[in-house]
Amino acid sequence: MWRFGDVDLQTARARIDAAFDAGITFFDTADIYGCDMPAGFGHSEALLGKVFADAPELRGRMVLASKGGIVLGTPYNSSREYIAAAIDASLARLGVDHIDLWQVHRPDILTHPTELAEALQTAVSSGKVGAVGVSNFTSAQIDALRDAMNIPLVSTQPEFSPLHLNPLQNGEFDQAMQHSLAVMAWSPLGGGRIAAPETDREKAVASVLDRVAEGFGVSRATATFSWIAAHPARPIPIIGSQTPARIAEAADIYKVTWTRKAWYDVLQAAMGENLP
pLDDT score recorded for residue 49: 97
Crossing angle for the helix pair 260-271 and 200-216, to the nearest 10 degrees: 160
Q: Per the domain annotation, does 79 fall within a domain?
A: yes
SS3 assignment, position 15 = helix
Q: Which domain holds residue 55?
A: 9-157
For the question of residue 33 being annotated catalytic, the response is yes
Residue 243 DSSP one-character state: -
Q: Per the domain annotation, does 113 fall within a domain?
A: yes
- CA 126, CA 33: separation in Å to the nearest integer? 25
Q: Per the domain annotation, does 63 fall within a domain?
A: yes
Residue from 33, 76, 254, 264 carrying the catalytic annotation: 33
pLDDT score recorded for residue 240: 85
CATH code at position 96: 3.20.20.100
The list of the chain residues with pLDDT below 50 reads: none
- Altogether, the residues listed in the chain come to a count of 276
- CA 6, CA 190: separation in Å to the nearest integer? 23
Q: Per the domain annotation, does 242 fall within a domain?
A: no
Q: Per the domain annotation, does 234 fall within a domain?
A: no
8 Å CB contact between 150 and 121: yes
Q: Per the domain annotation, does 138 fall within a domain?
A: yes
- CA 13, CA 65: separation in Å to the nearest integer? 18
pLDDT score recorded for residue 58: 97
Chain segment 90-146, per-residue pLDDT in tens: 999 999 999 999 999 999 999 999 999 999 999 999 999 999 999 999 999 999 999
Q: How many DSSP H helices and E strands does the chain contain?
A: 11, 7
- CA 272, CA 122: separation in Å to the nearest integer? 46
Phi, psi (rounded to 5 degrees) for 190: 65, 40
Q: Per the domain annotation, does 127 fall within a domain?
A: yes
Number of compact structural domains in the chain = 1
- CA 79, CA 70: separation in Å to the nearest integer? 12
Strands 236-237 and 182-185: parallel
CA neighbor of 143 nearest in space, from 121, 120, 171: 171
pLDDT score recorded for residue 6: 76
- CA 210, CA 143: separation in Å to the nearest integer? 38
Q: Per the domain annotation, does 94 fall within a domain?
A: yes
